[in-house]
Structure 1
């Protein structure tokens, strides 16, 4: 499932515009994604995605890249052989689309503002 467009606060997927943070995996969109702390990402915030065993996890940390990642989450990803890419959401969208185009089993988690 390709992402068509991203601007601050809005992501377009499948012709629909989402204005709340979201996760994408296996052709499904999990919208209105809330985290334990707004600008910090913990493993439990994406546990529902991790149990599905993606080959690649793309994390969009916001327009300005302000969302931080818990070091324990990065350690978990490394230990479990899950490739990951963490960057501002614009770069993350580009990477996500690239991996989808390559046919990878990719999950995306996108913070749309900040």
Structure 2
């Protein structure tokens, strides 16, 4: 099962292959995607991405996880969150969202078992 490509990205709007609805923030994994609703885990720009934000994607059997911190990189990624991912045996890359989407798409095209979480605004 391949990871869907992110077809477009602009401020506050992302479209993902295989999804008819656009997303503001999204989670992607081999075979699927969905909106990333920060209210589910109480996430905010600070302290940032929580392990609970990533569990769903990690359970999909990814080898690599890409995290997009936003267009201006306002979304923080605590070291405890990175440690959580690495303890699961998954490589993690944290980038500004435009760069993160490019990296994710490159890996998806190569057939990597890649997942991601992306913030499309600040």
Match of 1:11 among 8, 11, 14: 14
Unpaired runs of 5+ in structure 1? none
Q: Relative to structure 2, which stretch is displaced further, 12-21 or 77-86?
A: 12-21
1:76 Cα deviation after fit: 1.9
Instruction: Give the Cα separation in 1 of the matches to 2:29 and 2:59.
Output: 11
1:3 Cα deviation after fit: 1.1
For these two proteins, the number of residue pairs brought into alignment is 114
Instruction: Give the Cα separation in 2 of the matches to 1:13 and 1:99.
Output: 15
Task: Give the TM-score normalised by the residue count of structure 2.
Answer: 0.84
Match of 1:74 among 63, 79, 82: 82
* Contact 1:61-1:86 at 8 Å conserved across structures: yes
Instruction: Give the Cα separation in 2 of the matches to 1:50 and 1:19.
Output: 20
Unpaired runs of 5+ in structure 2? none
1:77 Cα deviation after fit: 2.1
Runs of 4+ in 1 over 6 A off after TM superposition: none
Aligned pairs (5 A) from 1:1-114: 1-14=4-17, 16=20, 18-34=22-38, 35-39=41-45, 40-114=48-122
CA root-mean-square deviation: 1.7
SS in structure 2 of the partner of residue 18 of structure 1: coil
